Structure 1
Amino acid sequence: MSGSDKDAVAIGIDFGTLSGRVVVAAVDDGRELASAEHVYRHGSIEEQLPGTDVGLPRNWALQSPDDWRDVLRQAVPKALSAAGVSADQVVGIATDFTACTILPTLADGTPLCELEEYRDRPHAWPKLWKHHAAQPHADRINAVAAERGEDWLPRYGGKISSEWEFAKGLQLLEEDPEIYRRTERWIEAADWIIWQLCGEENRNICTAGYKGIYQDGKRPDRDFLAALNPDFTDFNDKLEHPLSPLGDRAGGVSAEAAGWTGLNQGTAVAVGNVDAHVTAASAKAVGPGQMVAIMGTSTCHVVNGEDLTEASGMCGVVRDGIVPGLWGYEAGQSGVGDIFAWFTRNSVPASYQAEADERGISIHELLTELAARQEVGEHGLVALDWHSGNRSVLVDHDLSGVIVGLTLATKPEEVYRALVESTAFGTRMIVETLTSSGVPIEEFVAAGGLLKNKWLMQTYSDVLRLPITVLTSEQGPALGSAIHAAVAAGAYPDIRTAAEAMGKVERHAYEPDQARADAYDELYAVYAELHDHFGRGGSDALHKLHKIASEADK
């Protein structure tokens, strides 16, 4: 089959934080024929286990595996029907997932939370990417690795995150040893959903490299694991499985999955992937120097490079991690859209909401309109975007948000503007850290839900002093997955060729304004000063506050 087959379609599924989205795309040019969304019944489980009276501690975030199956059962048939295509036209299906979202299962893939005896045990449930309760375990992993001089540590910028596989695994062992012992497979949701589709286990190089400390063909050795905890030496056994390259075929749709989805049994299923990394394909950003920022509740930044360099505070650098043949670099901000949503939920006067309702616009649109009237720096504020901790470049989820410069005259729209600017400053910190470490960034490509806010995007262009190319598909990860599905089905020889044919972008949709960029340089200098003061040892106030709050919450 070739990409010129006008009737062939590919399906991409993006499993997000609160819902799963399905896109049916034409293989020849990436036209999106239809899409469908399924909102998870349980969403992000952060307060109480479903169907129980078991409450969850601070910084926990879980999910339900059956919510993910429901995307296959409901959204895939709905999207096929809306597209008006038959199962015979579908050449392949691919998925992407948030990461590290990980779960304990039996050897056959059964999630432990679905066993009756473990439904009321929090550690039996999948831990969502934004589960940050393993920070003390990550701290210990980093300290022991640094002391021992582990050669993999620099590949992660000198620190691994509390979000990743080993930190969450060590937390599991030390807080619920019985569940740890019962765990036969510790598996990323990105790989588990492929198991559901194919009926057999498959693991991908992307999540293993970025989230599972897999470098140069190996993971941390037993001596290192023993130094963390003598009972942790078998942890790799729960992860061990041959790794598949991105774009490969993982298998065919099983009889059971065919029944769920309405697809033909045997339809090609692509190897699993991560939402941010797969978006590089839909954004036509699979070459060196093209940074993709997937901007939503959080932001993930990925960029390919031809050479290996070790950049401080990066989430990881992995050979073949985004596309085969290149080194893929990842960084990120744990809270972006979540920060704006927090502010509108908790800090906006009722009169503002009433005005928004009267005008038939959202509170975000009203605040954006008011904020956009201000000159750069007029509000006298600078904020630190650490409301969900800092993923890059400090890799510390015990940090928290800061707003400096408040007065009795400060207005909600001014705080809103400062929060938006803080996330742009956080992205600039990441870009400058990478470029100063020898990773060229020649193009900035934006994707995700925040693209709808044109003022926000222009602010990012001004702060970064870079033109911004935008992904024109509203379903970037799902389209990226569809591109990978086409490659796995043999419609294209490789990801780069498929991305060029099926990707959707508008080059230089935003250009920096010189005057605003100059003004933002001054504000960014203040941001960088506060960033280093609170994040690099000038003050331990935020860590002390986190400790006080955690102890009071017990």
Structure 2
Amino acid sequence: MRDLTIGLDCGTGGARALVADRTGRVLAMAVRNYPTTHPHPGWATQSPADWWEAACGAVRAALLQGGIARDRIAAICASGTSSTMVALDDALNPLGEAILWMDNRASPQARRIEATGHPVLRRSRAGFSAETALPKILWLRENAPDVFGRSRWFVEMADYLALRLAGELTLGQNLTTNRWFYDPRHGWPEDFLTAIGLSGITDRFPARMPAVGEVIGPLQPHAADAMGLDCETLVVAGGTDAYVAMVGLNTLRPGETALITGTSHLVLPVVAEDIEVEGLFGPHPDCVTKGVFVMEGGQVSSGAVLRWWHDLLHQGQDGYDALLAEAQSAPPGAHGLVVLDFWQGNRNPFTDYDLQGAIWGLTLKHGRAEITRALMESVALGTANILDRLTDKGIPVLAMTLAGGVLRSRFWAQMHADATGTRLRIPEVGEATAFGAAIAAAVGAGLHPTLETAADAMVRIRDEIHPDPARHAQFRAQLDFYLQTHAALKPLMHRMAALTQAAAALAP
């Protein structure tokens, strides 16, 4: 009996495979990591071959861990990081490394796209994101014409995984809607693509664009062998990791908001109306489910900032528990330290990839504990800054359902509740992206009729975290310093970004 599904979440750090039944019970989960390279400042790349090896290894390990027979797996669904762009040749092979979502080399192209002022940019009022695929494609055309000339198709990470799984070339509708300015109700904005210098580029976009939960086809033999599955398993369309996580959190209806945390953070409110919020992306129509819109506010580097600090201190050893314990020993406000969490620029609400991280207020009194706490508080303040934009537009966020890395630390989760003044709902399954992919796979396999009914049946909330009023008041004062620091340092950061970009252009 095929009564189980696999959710495959290929994130920034590695691949996670989760096996679940139709009631939402998780039977097994396994992780396999892969590296990121940074060839120049602001650049970030990964190998598609590494993704595939890790994905296969994670699935095999999960099946072994749970003692699960291959003939019980009804379907598999893969999600991937958003705006991680892969160029494919005529034979559907990657042309070198994938350009990772956090790579901001295309900032000049993004600024030029923004300068067109095209009406389609209403979904990106704060500024055009250098993370997205279109400026990256334009960067290839202008800076790597040989690669661009040999590129037959442009897809994203989740599409490449679907290609390896099912042997079918697709471009997920969720991905194109939330990042490529595709509108499921109206199609591609061809005049916009022409205006930005990519006329005719849709000929290099796969025509098949499945929605989340739609069947792509059966697992092809070589993929089945590599994963320890069989060809009766269906491959179901996923999408952007954070949007698939909305399924895993059951935040699919108006008035519900997901807070996805990890290497980056995303605030994803669902709204019924076509509402613009300055500083946020969206509204994205029919992005996950039909008939509603999703807004998006994100932080490029959130968990990545803490990992950077951890790795500097611990050099390959796992020291997170000690690091967090030290941070808890420091007082709120970290004795006057102010940090901007812009290690890879800012996605929202400033949408400025020429910003950099900053720490000020250091004295000889400060130690590791205070610096760690200040770094963590800066990430929570970045989330609060995004929520303020929603509140200013009359969209109050009274609660957020939390997923990802922050769940591993009650201390850091409480910090987010205090900084935002918002109640956090804690799900039973914290790995929301892999779980959401398993839920989408259950819909594709016919175990549930819709994403909404599947999430209702499979997702459960186990706890809530409430903000502390006194700490929230203190965070509001800290947010003022955060915002004034951004305003003061922005001109200097732009000058420094221009210097580093010029140096990168001259590098061999």
Who is 1:44 aligned against? 36
Who is 1:388 aligned against? 344
Q: How does 1:445-464 map onto structure 2 within 5 Å? A: 445-464=401-420
Is 1:409 the counterpart of 2:409? The answer is no
Structure 2 portions without partners, runs of 5+:
none
Distance, in Å, in 2 between the alignment partners of 1:379 and 1:367 is 17
Q: How does 1:204-215 map onto structure 2 within 5 Å? A: 204-215=172-183
Structure 1 portions without partners, runs of 5+:
47-55, 114-124
Distance, in Å, in 1 between the alignment partners of 2:392 and 2:182 is 25
Who is 2:444 aligned against? 488
- Identity of paired residues, percent? 31
Distance, in Å, in 2 between the alignment partners of 1:316 and 1:172 is 26
Instruction: Indicate which of 146, 153, 157 corresponds to 1:185.
Output: 153
Q: How does 1:132-171 map onto structure 2 within 5 Å? A: 132-144=104-116, 146=117, 150-171=118-139
> Paired residues, what number?
503
Change in CA separation of 1:270 and 1:409 when aligned onto 2, cut-off 3 Å: same
Distance, in Å, in 1 between the alignment partners of 2:13 and 2:474 is 37
Superposition deviation, residue 453 in structure 1: 1.5
Instruction: Indicate which of 524, 536, 547 corresponds to 2:479.
Output: 524
- 18-27 or 482-491: which moved more? 18-27
Superposition deviation, residue 75 in structure 1: 2.2
Q: How does 1:274-293 map onto structure 2 within 5 Å? A: 274-293=240-259
* TM-score relative to the length of structure 1: 0.86
Who is 1:78 aligned against? 61
Q: How does 1:129-528 map onto structure 2 within 5 Å? A: 129-144=101-116, 146=117, 150-215=118-183, 216-222=185-191, 224-229=192-197, 232-346=198-312, 363-377=319-333, 379-508=335-464, 510-528=465-483
Superposition deviation, residue 194 in structure 1: 0.9
Contact persistence 1:309–1:439 (CA under 8 A): no
Contact persistence 1:280–1:480 (CA under 8 A): yes
Distance, in Å, in 1 between the alignment partners of 2:160 and 2:431 is 22
Contact persistence 1:387–1:401 (CA under 8 A): yes
Contact persistence 1:291–1:304 (CA under 8 A): yes
Deviation per residue, 1:312-363 (Å, 9 max, x gap): 22233211212222101222111112111222344x5xxxx79xx9xxxx54
Superposition deviation, residue 526 in structure 1: 1.9
Change in CA separation of 1:158 and 1:204 when aligned onto 2, cut-off 3 Å: same
Distance, in Å, in 2 between the alignment partners of 1:176 and 1:506 is 50
Superposition deviation, residue 253 in structure 1: 1.3
Distance, in Å, in 1 between the alignment partners of 2:258 and 2:320 is 24
Superposition deviation, residue 82 in structure 1: 2.1
Distance, in Å, in 2 between the alignment partners of 1:136 and 1:543 is 12
Who is 2:92 aligned against? 109
Superposition deviation, residue 552 in structure 1: 4.2
Distance, in Å, in 2 between the alignment partners of 1:483 and 1:258 is 20
Contact persistence 1:283–1:476 (CA under 8 A): yes
Instruction: Indicate which of 17, 20, 32 corresponds to 1:22.
Output: 17
Distance, in Å, in 2 between the alignment partners of 1:472 and 1:402 is 36
RMSD across aligned positions (CA)? 2.1
Distance, in Å, in 1 between the alignment partners of 2:310 and 2:37 is 21
Superposition deviation, residue 219 in structure 1: 2.9
Distance, in Å, in 2 between the alignment partners of 1:276 and 1:16 is 10
Superposition deviation, residue 529 in structure 1: 2.5
Distance, in Å, in 1 between the alignment partners of 2:161 and 2:196 is 30
Larger radius of gyration: 1
* TM-score relative to the length of structure 2: 0.94
Contact persistence 1:109–1:192 (CA under 8 A): no
Distance, in Å, in 2 between the alignment partners of 1:161 and 1:487 is 32
